[in-house]
Amino acid sequence: MLERRIDNRKIVNTPVRLYHPELGRFDGMTNDISGGGVALKLNSYTNFLTEPPEDPILLRCCNTDVLYPVSCLRQTEFNLVVKFLE
């Protein structure tokens, strides 16, 4: 099967925190990461795809102080795939 992704994925399991401007803070773990985005396994379910927020969603790995602006691509019950905006 031909891989459609531009960037190769790497399996990385690290705690992350997602800051949504309207829904608040969500904790989870990364499943895999690439140059274009990251797959997250969240500790709780919230529908992120209802309406995109005006301000970007921010992603922070718990071992750094850097915030990455992201947007949602797709979501299942506890998994969320986001792409990096910068």
**CA 74 and chain centroid, separation:** 10
Residue 27 neighbours by CB under 8 Å, 6+ apart: 15, 16, 17, 18, 42, 43
Note the pLDDT of residue 2.
54
Note the pLDDT of residue 8.
74
Query: What does the pLDDT look like over 32-71, one tens digit per residue?
Result: 888 888 999 999 888 887 777 788 899 998 888 899 999 9
Note the pLDDT of residue 34.
85
pLDDT at 1 over 50: no
- Quote the pTM value: 0.80
Q: What is the mean pLDDT of the chain?
A: 85
